[in-house]
Homo-oligomer: A and B are copies of this chain.
Amino acid sequence: MTELTLEDIARQVGVSRSTVSRVINGSPHVSEDVRERVLKAVQTTGFQPNAAARSLASQRSYMIGLVLPQSVSAFFTDPFFPHLTQGIAYGCNNNDLTLSLFLAGNHEDEEIILPRISRRGQLDGVLVQSGQLGDWLIERLAKSSLPTVMIGRPFDPAGINYIDVDNVRGASSAVRHLARLGYRRIAHITGSAGSSATVDRLEGYKAALQEAGQPVDLRLIAEGNFSESSGYMAMKQLLPHNPQAVFAASDTMAVGAMRAIHEAGLRVPEDVAVVGYDDLPVAATITPALTTVRQPILKFGARAVELLMDVIANGSAPARHIILDTELILRDSCGRK
């Protein structure tokens, strides 16, 4: 398998390098006749243009990066991230983009990774999982000249492109549902501190409570970190205060909460109703099936890629924001009192 070049194909067809390039890049300024002959030669030889040469000449690599800072080491414990990655990967497939993954396990990794991310000629842009307070990598990337789209609203969104789901409305729809069903003493298990999703979901929780004329009782708010075990611990803390229902900021934590409820000899939803967030596959399979706030994760990834493409093509002024809607999925875990 010898390495063919544009020139080889050109010689073979009897045209010039430029013409072959035009055909390959779909330029309209080629006669039908020539286009067909070139295409046939490309087919039979299996010719592939050299990516490095193309990048060098065109200043475009058709490659984007997905950066997960150390702060989201939850990549492994929360299925949310694999799903998100999947959505982004599919988005790349549909836009003929190659996806590079930058996973940082610790600060040292970040130091190693940063130059590779910002190396000129490597990436056309990056998607950064954000929404963490004071993250070193995020800040560095935000002020770099590389086209960047944050995934999750940053705490200081000025001039930054980002995509997020409407966490406030998502959370309030869940809690409102609980309140409408007649539950009182609705507890909340938060996500990890320092995450904008956590802050927003808490805000939505409080807003819905107020709207329903129910008091916000701080003893009914327990802090988790999106992991199963944190949901379990938080619920144990909550149980002595007799909640009738609990809204967990993630399905994974809701699963942990249910475990704690069952262990205490209580039943879901008869004794404590539970609502989660994310609508991961587990929500449908667990018993009882979990009522939860669905995030359109796959769509989210696709839209993130599109947004980044737009920023790459048109510059990032003005900063663009996309906020996706959520949907409350009703299942069995909150009964219907």
A residues sitting closer than 8 Å to B (CB atoms) are: 1, 3, 48-56, 61, 63, 66, 75-77, 79, 81-83, 85-86, 89-90, 93, 96, 98-105, 109, 112-113, 115-116, 118-122, 145, 228-229, 232, 256, 259, 263, 281-282, 285, 287
Given A56-B53, A98-B116, check contact A103 B81 (CB 8 Å). Answer: no
Q: Which residue of B lies closest to A62 (CB)?
A: B116
A98 touches B83 (CB 8 A): no
A122 touches B52 (CB 8 A): yes
**Are B76 and A121 neighbours in the complex by a CB distance under 8 Å?**
no
Enumerate chain B residues within 8 angstroms of A109, measured Cβ to Cβ.
90, 93
Q: Are A90 and B112 in contact (CB under 8 A)?
A: no
Inter-subunit contact A1/B145 (CB<8 Å): yes
Residue of A90, A282, A285 most packed against chain B (CB within 10 A): A285
Most chain B CB inside 10 Å of its own CB: which residue of A1, A76, A281, A282? A76
How far, in angstroms, from A53 to B77 measured CA to CA in the complex? Answer: 39
A-B contacts, 21 listed (Cβ < 8 Å): A3-B120, A48-B119, A49-B120, A50-B119, A51-B119, A52-B52, A52-B56, A52-B61, A52-B122, A54-B121, A76-B83, A76-B86, A76-B281, A77-B281, A85-B103, A86-B105, A90-B103, A90-B105, A98-B122, A99-B101, A229-B285
Residue on B nearest A1 in the bound complex, by CB: B145
- Nearest residue (CB) in B for A146 is B1
* Number of copies of this chain that the complex holds: 2
Contact A93 B112 (CB under 8 A): yes
Give every chain B residue within 8 A of A89 (Cβ-Cβ). Answer: 101-103
**Which chain B residue lies CB-closest to A118?**
B48
A13–B256 Cα distance when bound, in Å, is 61
Q: Cα distance A251–B99 when bound, in Å?
A: 30
> In the complex the two chains form, is A86's CB within 8 Å of B75's CB?
yes
- Minimum CB–CB distance for A300 against chain B, Å: 14
B85 with A50: CB separation less than 8 A: no
Other than A66-B101, A76-B281, A98-B116, give 15 A-B pairs with Cβ distance below 8 A: A1-B145, A49-B119, A52-B61, A52-B121, A75-B82, A76-B82, A76-B86, A77-B281, A79-B79, A93-B103, A96-B116, A98-B100, A100-B101, A228-B282, A263-B287
Residues of B contacting A56 with CB < 8 Å? Answer: 50, 52-53, 56
Q: Which residues of B contact A85 (CB under 8 A)?
A: 101, 103
B259 and A100 contacting across the interface, CB-CB below 8 Å: no
Contacts of A49 in B (CB 8 A): 119-120
Contacting residues, chain B, for A122 (C-beta < 8 A): 51-52, 98
A54 to B76 CA separation, bound complex (whole angstroms): 34
Nearest to A259 among chain B residues (CB) is B287
B100 touches A99 (CB 8 A): yes
A231 to chain B, nearest CB (A): 10
Write out the residue numbers on chain B whose beta carbons fall within 8 Å of the beta carbon of A82.
75-76, 79, 81-82
Q: Which residues of B contact A51 (CB under 8 A)?
A: 55, 61, 119-122
**How far, in whole Å, are A254 and B269 apart by their CA atoms in the complex?**
25
Q: Is the CB of B63 within 8 A of A86?
A: no
A61 to B119 alpha-carbon distance, docked (Å): 12
Neighbouring B residues of A83 by C-beta, 8 Å: 76
